[in-house]
Chains A and B, each alone.
Chain A
């Protein structure tokens, strides 16, 4: 039992490796900001493409969404980081992770936006257009605010997935939270840094997960 505590819940080791883990957390935060920000914008454009009346826009958008949802994010990441250099395209680990997960998540955000936009009654669009608003104004001021509100739990839920997804960045040696914890584990020959990293993820994401279920219950009521 003592060994268990010494190897998994060693406060001394945790305190010692905390600065390293905090650096990792900062990297995770930057990654999340990049992937979530880009994903929310990219997803919106993909969704608008998929809902367009123009076939030359709709088809490529659908194809891209399907392709990106079917492709495992880790495969995409390793291809971009280790495959593209064969074509003379070498990019930093951070850029590789950001691009790979941006692509992957745009597709998921796109599907959520699409469901949201389709949940807004057509009468809303008609009323706005009848008042002389342009397509863009109608979207920005009438349709999207309602669409986002209707799918807020799903957007949040996908965002939680993004945060968890960034731990995959450790395979391309990007020093985010998990990679830093694993490095600390090998330096100290002790599993406590990994336990600490898990606790950090939990503390960060648990409130978000709670929030999602609260929203879902409220929407269901």
Chain B
């Protein structure tokens, strides 16, 4: 395997005495979509949030395209965060600016793009998620699914090398989930490297290249979706999957 786009090496994270992550090792190849599943409290989200240091790792290394994000200075961190897009469960659009301004802000302030260029890029990204016609709308007037697609456009506008998804559909009404998953599928087809924490097992089975099962702060098992879902080896994976299906 050539150099992975995202590599997590011996990652540990503790909150006080509580060890949330113990020795996580994970590689995501360029263009690969890796799904992380597991019971709540297994450390999935914490691991994801360590990848752009919203959570400060206790020890270990996280390499983005070969560069370690864990040890770097705060100015280098701000630059590296441009290469790692993140989508949150709660969307977190800026409610005081309209949709296109949401997608433009970091382009102008962090990437130092000229305004015209940022706007053009923002509209192109909104077009990509099917929301160009809502560019001048305020976020609160959009449905949850639409807000999440704008959040994806906001991350994509910075030309990231990796996209992190933290339960992107968990806060959505069932009928709105499909539109967000369709955007993610399109993103994967265009070659984006993606690490996804999600409970959408059907989508994982259909679209993921690899599925990682985490429990108790450890990667218990990983493999292609057919194998993990049809023939899980570890007992804990079997127990979790039978609970989810039941």
Shortest B184–chain A CB gap in Å is 17
Shortest B74–chain A CB gap in Å is 8
Kindly list chain A residues whose C-beta atoms are within 8 Å of the C-beta of B151: 127
Kindly list chain B residues whose C-beta atoms are within 8 Å of the C-beta of A142: 94, 105
Answer yes or no: A188 CB below 8 A from chain B CBs.
no
Contacting residue for A129 out of B81, B90, B155, CB 8 A: B81
Answer yes or no: B18 CB below 8 A from chain A CBs.
no
Kindly list chain B residues whose C-beta atoms are within 8 Å of the C-beta of A146: 94-96
Answer yes or no: A1 CB below 8 A from chain B CBs.
no
A127-B109 in contact given A132-B158, A149-B96 (Cβ < 8 Å): no
Select the residue from B90, B92, B95 with max chain A CB neighbours within 10 A. B92
Answer yes or no: A203 CB below 8 A from chain B CBs.
no
Kindly list chain B residues whose C-beta atoms are within 8 Å of the C-beta of A133: 78, 105-106, 109-110
A131-B90 in contact given A137-B109, A137-B110, A145-B96 (Cβ < 8 Å): no
Q: In the docked arrangement, what's the CA distance between A130 and B164, Å?
A: 10
Interface 1/0 per residue, B84-114 and A, CB below 8 Å: 1110101011111000000001100111000
Query: Is the pair B88, A131 in contact by a Cβ cutoff of 8 Å?
Result: no
Contacting residue for A123 out of B52, B88, B109, CB 8 A: B88
Q: Please provide the chain A residues from 123 to 150 with a CB less than 8 Å away from any CB of chain B in the complex.
A: 123-124, 126-134, 137, 141-142, 145-146, 149
A130-B110 in contact given A124-B92, A142-B94, A146-B95 (Cβ < 8 Å): no
Shortest A151–chain B CB gap in Å is 14
Q: In the docked arrangement, what's the CA distance between A121 and B95, Å?
A: 11
Query: Is the pair A132, B111 in contact by a Cβ cutoff of 8 Å?
Result: yes
Q: In the docked arrangement, what's the CA distance between A121 and B54, Å?
A: 15
Query: Is the pair B105, A141 in contact by a Cβ cutoff of 8 Å?
Result: yes
Query: Is the pair A131, B105 in contact by a Cβ cutoff of 8 Å?
Result: yes
Shortest A148–chain B CB gap in Å is 10
Q: In the docked arrangement, what's the CA distance between A145 and B111, Å?
A: 21
Query: Is the pair A131, B154 in contact by a Cβ cutoff of 8 Å?
Result: yes
Query: Is the pair B94, A124 in contact by a Cβ cutoff of 8 Å?
Result: yes
Shortest B55–chain A CB gap in Å is 10
Minimal Cβ-Cβ distance residue in A for B49: A126
Minimal Cβ-Cβ distance residue in A for B111: A132
Query: Is the pair B88, A132 in contact by a Cβ cutoff of 8 Å?
Result: no
Shortest B173–chain A CB gap in Å is 19
Kindly list chain B residues whose C-beta atoms are within 8 Å of the C-beta of A132: 78-79, 81-82, 106, 110-111, 158
Interface 1/0 per residue, A76-118 and B, CB below 8 Å: 0000000000000000000000000000000000000000000
Minimal Cβ-Cβ distance residue in B for A138: B109
Query: Is the pair A126, B106 in contact by a Cβ cutoff of 8 Å?
Result: no
Query: Is the pair B158, A131 in contact by a Cβ cutoff of 8 Å?
Result: yes
Minimal Cβ-Cβ distance residue in A for B55: A126
Shortest A37–chain B CB gap in Å is 24
Chain B: residues with CB nearer than 8 A to chain A? 52, 54, 78-79, 81-82, 84-86, 88, 90, 92-96, 105-106, 109-111, 151, 154-155, 158
Chain A: residues with CB nearer than 8 A to chain B? 121, 123-124, 126-134, 137, 141-142, 145-146, 149
Given contacts A130-B85, A131-B106, 12 further A-B contacts (CB under 8 A): A124-B92, A126-B54, A130-B86, A131-B110, A131-B158, A132-B82, A132-B106, A132-B111, A134-B78, A137-B110, A141-B109, A146-B95
